[in-house]
Amino acid sequence: MVSENAKSGESSGLRVGFAGLGTMGAFMSANLLSAGFPLTVWNRTPGRAEHLVVVGATEATSPAALARSCDVVVTCLTDSPQVEEVLFGRDGLAEGLSPGALLIDCSTLSPLKAQEFGQRLALQSVAMLDAPVSGGSEGAKNATLTILVGGEEADFERASGVLDAMGRTVTLLGPLGAGQWAKAINQVILAGVYLGVAEGVTLGLKAGLDVEGVISALSGGAAGSWVLENRSQRMIDDDYPLGFKIALHRKDLAIGLDLARSVGAVLPVSSLAATFEDGLIAQGHGDEDNSALARAIRQLSGL
C-alpha cells in the first residue's frame, strides 16, 4: 500500500537531494524515499549511502553533482563551518544549484550564519529555508520531528511536501534565521529539563525508592515530559546509548548563550548545564546521549 506521503512525493515532480547522512540525516533521507521523492544523496564519509542506494536512491560524487540533479536540496550537517564548506567550498552545492532551486538547511547553527548563507545563495537566485529539527534519532526515524522553519512563505509552501515527509510538526516562524532562534530556545529549555530529570532520578535513587515506579506515577502529572518518558530509564541505569550527542548539545547551547548575551538575557540554568557538559566531554563522554548529564549529578551525589 502506498502512503499518502508517497503519493505526494511522486506527484510533486520535485527532485530532492540530501547532503549529510549522519545519525539524523540517514533516517530523514530514508523517509523522503519512503514518501516517493526521487532522491540523490551525498555524504562526506564514504559508505554511508549504501543502504539508501539499495532501496532506490542515487549517490552523487560531490555536493555540486548532487545539486545539478535536484530542485530541492536538504542539508543536515554538524555546524556552521561544515555547512559553509559543503555549500561554498570546492565542488560545493552552490556550484551546482540552478536559479530557482531551494536549499533547506536542517543543521543547527547561528541565525546570523543562516542569514549570511541565504544572502550568498540569493545572489545566484537560489532560495533558502533554515529548518533545524528537534526530536532526536527516534523522531528522525519515525518522521515525527519538530521542524522549526525560517524563510519566505512562498518557499515554505514549495517545501511543504518535503518537510512533511520528515516531520510531524512543521512551523514557519518568521524570516530566514527565525528557525535557528527557535532551535536555540529549544536547546535552552532542554538543558533545564535534562538537569531536572537527572536531579529527580538521583534523589529517588539516594532515597532507595522504586524510581521506575515513581517515574511512571509522575509521567501523567505536571512533571511529565518527553525527557522524563524517554530518557529517565537511561539515567536510572547509568547507561547512555546515543540518541543525540552531548557534545552536539553543548555546541547548540553555546549558540543559545551567545544569543542571550547579544540581547541581554541571563540564562543561569543553561550556563550550569554548559559547565557540566564541559566536564563530561573532558572525561570522554561527549559521544554519549545528552541524558548523560545525569552522570554529573550522580557523581556529585556519590552514585
Question: Which residues are identified as catalytic?
Answer: 183
**Pair 252, 212: CB distance under 8 Å:** no
DSSP secondary structure of 160-213: HHHHHHHEEEEEE-SSTTHHHHHHHHHHHHHHHHHHHHHHHHHHHHHTT--HHH
List, in sequence order, every residue forming a beta bridge with 289; answer none if it has no partner.
245
The b/e string for 107-142 (b: 16+ C-beta within 10 A; e otherwise) is bbbbbebbbbbbeebeeeebbbbbbbbbbbbebbbe
CA distances (Å), origin 270, targets 25, 256, 288, 301: 27, 9, 19, 20
Q: State the cell numbers at 239.
A: 547507561
100: closest CA among 122, 117, 85? 122
Backbone phi and psi for residue 183, each to the nearest 5 degrees, phi listed first: -65, -40
Q: 89 near 59, Cβ under 8 Å?
A: no
CB 21 within 8 A of CB 49: yes
Contact 103, 45 (CB under 8 A): no
Query: Which residue is it, cell 555536493?
Result: 63
Rounded to 5°, angle at Cα 39 from 171 and 43: 90
Half-sphere exposure of 174 (CA within 13 A, CB side): 9
